[in-house]
A and B are shown apart, each in its own frame.
Chain A
Amino acid sequence: MTEQAINRQEPTQNQSYYCPTCQRVYMVPTEWQAIPCPLCQQAVLKASPNPEIAAPIELIIPPALDSQTLNRQLSQFTKGSAFPHPDFKAENLEKRLTLVYWPVWLTDADLDGEWDAIFGYDYQVVSSREKMGNAGWSSQDVIKTRVKEEPRKGFLKRHYNNVLSPALHTHDQRLSQLGMVDLRAAHSWQALNTSQSVVQKETLFPHELEDGVKKLLTNLASADCRKASGAQHPKSYTFYGEFKNMNWTKGIVPMLTTYYVDDKGARHPIAINGQTGIVYGRRMASTKKAWLFTGILFALAIILMLVLYSAKTDLFLCPFVALGLVFAPIIYAAIWNNRERNKPPLA
C-alpha cells in the first residue's frame, strides 16, 4: 500500500492539480492531502487556479503487476548500485508507491484507397568459398540470401483499431524509459478505476496529432500490404487514399512512481511500468559512503605503512602505492554519479 493510501477514503471527485516545478498537471482525488509531484518529487502539487477540463477517459489499462514481481524488479534495480544511499532499498521504494495513470490516444480509422510500393523479396543464390593448400583446391557451396526489389500497386480497404498515439509531449521518451504497453488488456473506464490514483493530464490533443496518426496508420497499412504481397522487406510505400471515420479515444496507462532520499535529503523519483515492471530512475551513489570507504582505506594504508616501517623491511614503501588507491571509491562514486546524471530525467 502507498503512503497516500493510508489517509484515503472513498472517492468523491478528482481535482486538477499542477506541479509548480515541472508544470505537469494531474487529476488527484479531492480527499487526498497535498502530495508531492509523483514524477519529479521536487514540489508539492497545487490546485490549478484555472483548471482546464481534461478529455473524458474512455479506456483504461489496469495495472498487472503482482507484489512478488514488483518486489523482484525493485530488488534487482536497487542491487548493483555503487555506494547506495541508505534509503535506496526495495522495501522503502515499495512503501512509497503511487499509482499514476498517464494518457494516450487510441485512434480507430478506416483506410480506403490506392497504394504504391517497392518491396524487397528474399531469394537465395549459390556462391562458393574455396581454399587452396598443399592438397590443391577445395570448394564449398555457400547459400547466400539476397533481396530483389519489385514494384507493387494495389488497393487497400481495412479498418484499424486502437492505434496508439501520444497524448503527452514526453510520450516517446516515456516508452523508451518504461517499455511498451499492451493495449489488449484495455477495457472501459469507470470512475472507480481511478479513485485511488493520480491521472496525468494530456498535453497533446487530436487536432495536433492528425498528421502523426496518419503516418502511423500509413506505416500499419504498409506492413499489411507487404505481408499481403508475401514480401520480406519494405523499401518504399505511399498511400493515396482516404482516412475515414477517424475516432479518438482517450485511454490511460498504469505506472507506479516512488522515490528515495539521498544523504542531503533530496528526493529522487523512480517509475515502474504498471504492466511489465520495468523500472527507470537515476541510481545515485552516496558520496558520504564513498568518503567513508576512502577514509577507512586511508587509515589502513597508514597503519600498514607504520607496521612495515617498524619491521624495517623493504616493503614499507608499498603503502605509498596503496595511498594512491585509497581515493578509488570517491573517484568511482563521482564517475558513477556523473553517468547517472546524464540519464534523461523521468519523462
Chain B
Amino acid sequence: MQVPKYYFPGFEQVPSELDGVMIFAPIPEKDEEEVRSYACPQCGGHLKFDVNSAGMACIYCGYTAPVVTKQVGKTAQSFEFTLENVHASEQEWETDRQLLHCDNCGAELSYPKGAVAATCPYCGSNKVNLSLPKTKSLRPQVLLPFSATPESLQPHIQQWLGKGWMHPKTLKDAAQIDKLSPIYLPYWTFSAAIDASWEAEVGRYETETYYDSSSDSYKTRQVLRWRWESGAISHQFSDITINGVNPQRINHAMLSAIEPFNLSGLVLFSPDYLVGMNVQAYETPLRQAWEIAKQDIRTTTNRLCETDTGSNHVRNMSIDMSYDDEQWRYVLLPVYLSGYNYGANYYSFMLNGQTGKLAGVKPVDWKKVRLVTWLVALIPLLLALICLLISKTSGDGGLLFFGGLLAVAGIVISIALYVQAKNAEKIV
C-alpha cells in the first residue's frame, strides 16, 4: 500500500498489524528541547524570572517579557496510577549527579540529582533542564507562581522577628537577615474516591424500667447497650498535598507550618518560571508519597465510619475499604528559604511564596523566660502564704481556699510558659 500524498493533520502513520490497513494515530506531544538557555534579546545578558513583574527580566538592560501560560487551578490535568507511571517514578532517580553542558561558555557542569534549573558558575547564564525525568507525566505539568515579592515580605519578616516577649529584645534590630532565596519545591497532590463498609460494636443508651425496692416503686434509667452494627460510606478525597522533598534536605515541620497553598492559582507549566530560580525535583517517589497520603485517607475514613454509626460509643470497628479513580498530580509550589544570624548562631526560616505565611526558628531569651516563670510562680505563692496567715487569724476558710487556688494557678501558668518557650525555640 502506497503512502498517500495527503495526510491527516495532527496524525502520523503508525505500524499496522494487518496487510491492507494503513493506520494514523495522533502525533504525541514532542518533548521540549532538553536544556534551554535564556539570553536577553536586547543586550544578550542573562534573563531570569522576576517575581515583581511576573515575567522574564534582564538584569542588565531592564528588558521584560511576560510568561505565556494559562491559569488552570484545580482543573489541572491529573494522572492515574498506571503501572508505567508507578514504575517510572521509582526508577528514574537512580543517577546521583547530572551533567549539563553550558552553551554559553562551554563548561561541563555537574549538579545534584533532582535540580531542574541551574546557573553556570563560570558565566552566570541560566539554564533549565527539561529532560528529567524521561516519563512526561513525571515532569511538572503545573506550578504555582510566586505572587509574594521579597520586598513585600521584608516588613512581615521584621514584624515576625519582633513578635513574642520570650525572644531577645534586640532580635528585630540585630538579626542579619539573608537574602530570600526563592525555590520551587515538588509536591504531589492526590485525589481518590473510596467506598468503605464498616462493622462495629455500637453502644446506644436505652431507657430501662426497674423496680427500686428502697422506694417501693418502678423507676427508669439509661443503660448503655452494645450491639453489632454495620454500614457503608462513600467519600471523595480531593487534592491531598504531600511534599516530595527529602526530609534531610528541608525541614518538613517548617514546611507544613507555611501550608496551605491555594491550588486554584495553579498555572500550566512553563520553563520560563524556573529561570534563575532554584528548583527541586521530587525525591519522594510517587508510590511512597501516595502511601503517606493514604494514611490521611485512613484516618479520615475511620472518623467518617465512626460518625456513620451515629453514636459516640464505638468499639471493635473493622473497615473494608476499596479505592477508585485514584489520580495524582506533580506540581511545583513556591517557597522562599532564608535565615538570619543572631549572635554566633544561624537560624533558618521559610515563607510561603504565594501567601507569605512565615515559619522559622527564633532564639529564646532564657534569662527573661526564667525570670518571668519564677515571678509567675512566686507571686501567687506569696499571696497564698498571706492568705494562709490571714485565714489562720480570722478563721476565714474561703480565703484559704482562694490562696491555694492562686498557688496552683501560678505553678500551672509558669510551667505552661516554660513549655511555650521550649516550643518557641523550635518552629514558630
Contact = CB atoms under 8 A, between A and B. Distances in A.
Interface of A: 123-134, 137, 139, 142-143, 146, 150-158, 224-225, 227-230
B contact patch SS: strand
A152 B383 CA distance: 89
A154 B24 contact: yes
B3 to A, nearest CB: 9
Contacts of A137: 298
Contact of B298 (A130, A152, A158): A130
A79 B279 CA distance: 80
Contact of B21 (A130, A132, A142, A225): A225
Given A131-B320, A224-B18, 11 more contacts: A125-B81, A126-B81, A127-B323, A128-B294, A129-B322, A137-B298, A154-B16, A155-B1, A228-B16, A228-B17, A229-B23
Interface of B: 1, 4, 8, 11, 14, 16-26, 80-83, 86, 294, 298, 302, 316-324, 326
Nearest to A151: B26
A155 B4 contact: yes
A139 B292 CA distance: 13
Contacts of A126: 81-83, 86
A23 B322 CA distance: 61
Given A132-B318, A137-B298, A125 B22 contact: no
22 contacts: A125-B326, A127-B326, A128-B323, A131-B320, A132-B319, A133-B318, A142-B322, A143-B83, A150-B25, A152-B23, A152-B25, A153-B11, A154-B24, A155-B21, A158-B20, A224-B20, A225-B21, A227-B18, A228-B16, A229-B16, A229-B17, A229-B23
A158 B316 CA distance: 67
Nearest to A117: B23
B19 to A, nearest CB: 8
Contacts of A129: 320-323
Contact of B20 (A124, A128, A157): A157
B298 A132 contact: yes
B18 A228 contact: yes
B16, B23, B319 — which one has the most chain A CB atoms within 10 A of its CB? B23
Nearest to A123: B82
Contacts of B80: 125, 146
A119 to B, nearest CB: 10
B8 A153 contact: yes
A228 B17 CA distance: 4
Contacts of A124: 82-83
A227 B24 contact: no
Nearest to A158: B20
A124, A126, A142, A157 — which one has the most chain B CB atoms within 10 A of its CB? A126
Contacts of B326: 125, 127-128
Given A123-B82, A155-B1, A139 B294 contact: yes
Nearest to A155: B22
A76 B25 CA distance: 53
